[in-house]
Each structure stands twice: as C-alpha cells, then as structure tokens.
Structure 1
Amino acid sequence: MLKLGIPKGSLQEATIDLFAQAGWRITPHSRNYYPDIDDPEIHCSLLRAQEMARYVERGTLDLGLTGLDWILETEADVEQICTLTYSKASNRPSRWVLVVPEHSPIQSVADLQGCKVATELVGFTKRYLAERGVTAEVEFSWGATEAKAVEGLVDAVVEITETGSTIRAHGLRIVEDLLITDTRLIANREAMRDPARRARIEQIALMLQAALAARHKVALKCNVPAELLDAVVELLPSLHAPTVSHLYDPRWLAVETIVDSALVRDLIPRLRAAGAEGILEYELRKMI
C-alpha cells in the first residue's frame, strides 16, 4: 500500500483534477481526511501543504505534493521527484516577497537590521537574513500578514504573492523577492529504496508529468491537396515532423501534428489560406 498525501486547501481541487487526467479518480469526503481513490494499492490522506514534507520525511506518507517553500521551511530530508506547476489560479510562479509600507525607509534586506518582521515562513526567513548578516526579530503570523504592516505592528512582512496586486492595493510596497516557489512531488527516502514502492512512485510521477505536458498542447489534423503539401507542412511546428498519410483519393493527403495551444488561433487561418481543409483541433489527455 502506497501512502499518498494530497494538499488540502487552495491546491486540493487542482491536484484532484490533475490526478484524474493522469488516470486516478480521487473522491474526497466532507467528514474525513481520507479520500477514496480507484487504485487498491494507494491510500490517500488530505494534509496541509505546510506539513506535508515533515510527514513524508518521517515515513507517515510515502509521497505527497507540496511547495518548495514548505520543503525549505521545514528543512525536511525528502527526495524531490519532479516539479509540477498546475495551479488553476495563475500560470505565474508564486513569490515570497519582502513587503513594507509605501513610505517606509526600508529599501533592501540589509535595512532590516534591528527590525521586526512577520511571516508564516519563519524558519526560511530567519536563515535568509542570517546568511546576509542581518539581525532582525522574525515572528510567526497566523494570518492577515499584510495587515500587520499596514497597521504598523511590524516594520515589514514576508508574504507570498503571484501578481503583487493585493499588496499594492493595501498601500504596501514590494522591496525584493526572497524565494520563487513551485509545487514538488516529494517522496520518503526509505520508500524510494524499496523497489516496489519506487516503481509506483515513478509511475505516478510519469503520468502526472504527461498530463501536465498535454495541457499546453493540442492536436491538429487537416486534409491537404497533394500539390500544396509542402506549403502547408512548412507552416506546422511539431515535435519531430508532421504525420502525413494518403487518403482514398490519391489527390489528397491527411496531415496531423501536435502544436502549442497558444499558436492555434493564428495557425488555423494560415493553414486555411494555404489550402488545408477539414481542419480539426482536439485536446490531448497525456503526452510523453
């Protein structure tokens, strides 16, 4: 039985959706923290991302998903299998930033000497400052961290953001980035030394990455007159080369390729202008 940790909270729904695309159906329950999964060899638990690395390190879980920030915060000795960026909220990476009131004299981390800083990422922040020779009082924030800077309860805060828009809306200013974080699939080192569990962990990693890769690609298929093939193929990006096959009518060929989804809106009109017909676009589920 492989013990899998699913992050509870903002990433929960996106994680369950990713597993569904990868081939595992996970069904959470409102009254407990143990979702059902349609794989008899996997046992699921819901756990806060902040705690995930600690329990994977102990072996309470064999593997789980959590942020790089929480791995660094807990200093957990875990094996990082792969990076998985799949938040539905934004395609931008999350950043832990040093934030101060707009008119604060603090212009860099060095200016925090003797200051009071509030953050949920206490351990990382303390080490970050110590490595730069800065002595400051770093206290844990239970929430509403930005408000502590607004109200003057602390000199600065270290907070997570994607766009920085909420920070600016509160009349605060980002001094600098301290950490860019993403989601990691992590595993217990002892589990990775067991051949059977390692094989299952590597299977899960492969399928999750295949599902993510497919999200940014689509398949295009079209019919092309034989005499226009070269002009159409020249327009088509692909992993190697487009697939070209003969139709029953020898005057026509079928062309199929995989392209970045962002290119399709410009590519389809160009294909049509080059003589392609019967153009189809369809989504992919997995790509390896």
Structure 2
Amino acid sequence: MNIALPKGRFLGETASVLRRAGWGLDGYHETARFYRLKSQKFPNLSAKVFHEKDIPVQVAVGNYDLGICGLDWIEELLVRYPSSALVKVRDLGYGDGALYVAASRSAAAIVAELQAKPGIIRMASEYPNLAESFMVNLRLRRFSVFPLWGAAEVYPSESCDLVLIPGRAEEPLFNYGLVPVAKVLRLSAFVIANKNSWETKNLGDVLASIYNTNPVVRRKQPSSTAVVRMPEIAGQGFPGVDEGIVRLALPDGHQQVPTLSLLSKAGIRIDDYTSPVSNRRPTTSLSGVMIKVIRPQDMPLQVANGNFDLAITGRDWLREHLYRFPSSPVTELQDLKFGKVKIVAVVSKNLPIADVYSLRQLIAKRLGPFRVASEYVNIADKYARDNHLGMYRVIPTWGASEAFIPEDADLLIENTETGRTISRHNLKIIDTLFVSTACLIGNTGSMSSSSKGRRMKSIMKKLQTAVEDV
C-alpha cells in the first residue's frame, strides 16, 4: 500500500496527526531531506513526500492508493477532469483560510457588476481550472485566465482585473490593495484515495488509525459564486501605469539576494526588495520605472503578454517558454552571469546506462511508454523528441522531482548546481542539456517604443557595466 504525503504548508500538522496515529514515520518532519519513508506500525505501507499539487494527480492515475493534500488542489484537478478516479475520503479538520476571488480596491466589484462589465475580464491564478470555472459559472461573456506559478496577489490592477488566491481576508495578504469579491473554497487538508484502491483494497486499518486521532469534520463549502461581504481593510489601491513607464519584474525566492547585489553594483537602488514581509512592490531610484516581484517561471509569458517590459529570470525558463511559443515577442537582452545551474537528464543509479545512446537502447526493449518527469514540460518534450526516445509521456511536476524516480518516472529533466542532491537520492546524470544563468529579458515591442526604449537601454547599460565588473 502506498500513500503520498505533502511537503509545505500541511507537512507539520500532517506529521503530527500521523505521530498520534502511531505510524512511526521516522524522517517526516519540516527539515526532512528524504522523500521515501516506511511505517513501523504498518509494514506494508510505503510513503512518499511530494509537492502538494502533484498528489491528486498521482493518486488519480493509480500510482498511490492514498494521499493527503489540500482541498484546493483536489478541486483544481476535479473541476477540469471530473471523471478522475479520485475519492475524497475525509476532511482532516486542519488548514486555515479560503480561496478568494479578489480585486484591487480601486477596481473592486460585486458579482453582479462583474457580469455587467463590458470588455474582457482578466483573471490570474495558480488555480487556472478553478478560475475558469468561476468565470464560466458567472456566465461572463468574455474573459481570459492567466495561469501562474504563484504571487498572483501582485498582478491587479495593472496586469489583470481579478485574482484567485488563498489566504485570510483579515491578514496582510490583502494589504496589496486587494479586497475580496467572493469566497470560492474553504482550505482544508483531506485524505483522498484512488477509486480502484478504495473499491478493491483493504485500507480500513490505515484509515482507522487516522480517524481515531481526528474526529469527523463536516464543513459546508461556499458556492463558487457566493458574494462575501468583507469589512473594510487597511491599504490603498495602486494607480494605473502611464504608457511611458517601464515595468520591471524582479524574481522572488533564492535569486533575490544575487539580483539585489547586481542591481546595487549597477547603481540601482531597490528599497525593501528582500523585506521579511515579502514586499512585492519595492520602490527604486530609477525614474520612470515600476517594479513588481513575481515568480521567475511566470516572467517570459508575462513579458510576452505585455504586462512587463523587462524581467530578470533564468535562461531555463525563457527557453521553456520559447520551446512552446517560438514566435513569442520576448527575447534575451543580457546574460547576467549569476544563478548558474545545469539542466540535466537524470535516471536511477540502478539502471545500467551512462548516456542517452544507452538510454535509447534500453527504451527499445520496453513495451509501455517511457515516463519523463519535469517542471520543464516543454524542454522535456523537446529532449525526448530530439533524442528519439520512442513512445514517451511527459509528467508535469511542481517540485521535489527527485521523488518520482524510479516508481513514478523513468527520466527526470532537472536543474542542479552541484549534483549532490541528485546523488543523495540514488540518481545519476547521463546528459547535460544546457547551462542556465540569470538573464535580462524584454518585450520586443517595448524595446522599439520611443517612450520606453530609452529607459530600457539605460537600464541595460547599467547592468552591462555591473556584469563586466564582476
């Protein structure tokens, strides 16, 4: 019997529940470095730790009998694939907040106003399926949904009209100038099961051990179009952006420190960029420039869509975008030389292969499809095609990709700095696709604009000088 357990937001409380249930899962804690666990109480139970978004998919396709994850990611799968072989077994009673549709204070509207609004209504979210379902249920005439990796709260009102985001209305999340328009879904951790496993396997003892530590929880979920009247929230909306303003996107996460260092060397002051409160709208000494902090993965598409003129992202994410949209109006302007990683092909150390040639020979002997897992879906697809890997299937992942081999994938396309994490998980590199560094990308239309081009070229010159001095 196999169970998929979550990393991230629910890890601590899930680990606590399983400790009280007496599972004896040594190594499942906040600082865990290994993804495969065995239960001392249930010798036939194996656990694997995944990024939470991957769990409903892995359970639905039958790779795992049980899983624990948030209701938001369950519904994100089911609203798109309602016939998925997934059973919602039990609400575990922990998890806080809800999914809200929100808008900037300056553009906030109730649902009736949204339905009457002319033109295209734009929504951004890391839950694109739920976002689309919300818009369809409102019977909106024209709308578009921008899928994101995260940080949706910073997009209104310049880049979209609405966002679908997790949070609590009374918390600082809404201090970005957002107000809730509707509550879509309450957030809670659930036990889920594969439908076939639920019907054919004896899961009773394992589930009973969880039930005995958590009483039955019954919660009414709000309608996806329910209007939620919220109290006034402190904060102000952000003004519209003049056409001559250059919109610059900076990366969040581990690239913030080297990005700030390079900008400082270039004589560009950024205030409150690496703030502990995660300010996603830092100010700058550059005249005529507006900055937002977003996910590097989202930058190429957002620059191509015209929501930003410049962005600092990784060459890997630019290439991932261009492999899917080769005529996209986004281009690399400068190599910034930091954040160097290798994009590599990875297999289990137990496989008797050392390169892609021997991999092809191994695949030729297989009957079923070859499974390639990666966050870089388009890079992985191109690699499989270019190297003639026969009948293959690309499995999108959202992190913790090392956990997929060998049970759930045969090959990873992954990034690595040193290769140590790959080796620690009993994996090996058989090919290097390319080397990626941070780069400055730009919208080709903005570069040719008389009002923006001069400012953009000035920023490029400052960065070029800083890079040459490194």
Query: Measured at CA, do residues 31 and 139 of structure 1 come closer, stay the same or move farther in structure 2, by a change above 3 Å?
Result: same
The letter of the residue matching 1:101 is: S
- Determine which of 305, 330, 344 is the counterpart of 1:78: 330
- Determine which of 262, 269, 277 is the counterpart of 1:25: 269
Shift of 1:109: 3.3
The letter of the residue matching 2:346 is: V
- Give distance in 2, aligned partners of 1:105 and 1:121: 25
Q: Deviations over 1:54-88 (max 9, x none)?
A: 1111110011111111111112431221111123x
- Give distance in 2, aligned partners of 1:31 and 1:158: 30
The letter of the residue matching 2:338 is: Y
The SS at the match of 1:179 is strand
Shift of 1:39: 2.4
- Give distance in 1, aligned partners of 2:252 and 2:329: 21
Equivalent positions of 1:173-212 (< 5 A) are 173-212=428-467
Q: Match of 1:136?
A: 392
CA contact (8 A) 1:33 1:46 kept: yes
CA contact (8 A) 1:96 1:160 kept: yes
TM-score, structure 2 as length reference = 0.43
- Give distance in 2, aligned partners of 1:128 and 1:86: 25
Equivalent positions of 1:96-135 (< 5 A) are 96-109=343-356, 111=359, 113=363, 114-134=369-389, 135=391
- Give distance in 2, aligned partners of 1:35 and 1:106: 49
RMSD after superposition: 1.8
Q: Match of 1:7?
A: 251
Q: Deviations over 1:158-177 (max 9, x none)?
A: 11012212211222111111
The letter of the residue matching 1:24 is: I
The letter of the residue matching 1:20 is: S
Q: Deviations over 1:197-244 (max 9, x none)?
A: 1121111111112112222xxxxxxxxxxxxxxxxxxxxxxxxxxxxx
The letter of the residue matching 2:395 is: E
CA contact (8 A) 1:67 1:184 kept: yes
Q: Per chain length, whose mean CA-contact separation is higher, i.e. which structure has more relative contact order (CA < 8 Å, sep 6+)?
A: 1
CA contact (8 A) 1:118 1:141 kept: yes
The SS at the match of 1:56 is helix
Q: Deviations over 1:263-284 (max 9, x none)?
A: xxxxxxxxxxxxxxxxxxxxxx
- Give distance in 1, aligned partners of 2:350 and 2:278: 47
Shift of 1:43: 0.2
The letter of the residue matching 2:257 is: E
The letter of the residue matching 1:214 is: D
- Give distance in 2, aligned partners of 1:127 and 1:11: 27
TM-score, structure 1 as length reference = 0.68
Q: Deviations over 1:177-211 (max 9, x none)?
A: 12221222111111111123112111111111211
Structure 1: 4+ residue segments shifted above 6 A? none
The letter of the residue matching 2:427 is: L
Q: Deviations over 1:237-261 (max 9, x none)?
A: xxxxxxxxxxxxxxxxxxxxxxxxx
Q: Match of 2:402?
A: 146
Identity of aligned residues (%): 31
Shift of 1:32: 4.0
The letter of the residue matching 2:261 is: D
Structure 2 stretches of 5 or more lacking a match?
1-244, 323-327, 364-368
Report which of the two has the higher share of strand: 1
The SS at the match of 2:293 is strand
Q: Match of 1:259?
A: none
- Give distance in 2, aligned partners of 1:119 and 1:16: 29
CA contact (8 A) 1:86 1:212 kept: no
Structure 1 stretches of 5 or more lacking a match?
88-92, 216-288
Query: Measured at CA, do residues 62 and 71 of structure 1 come closer, stay the same or move farther in structure 2, by a change above 3 Å?
Result: same
CA contact (8 A) 1:109 1:129 kept: no
- Give distance in 2, aligned partners of 1:160 and 1:33: 26
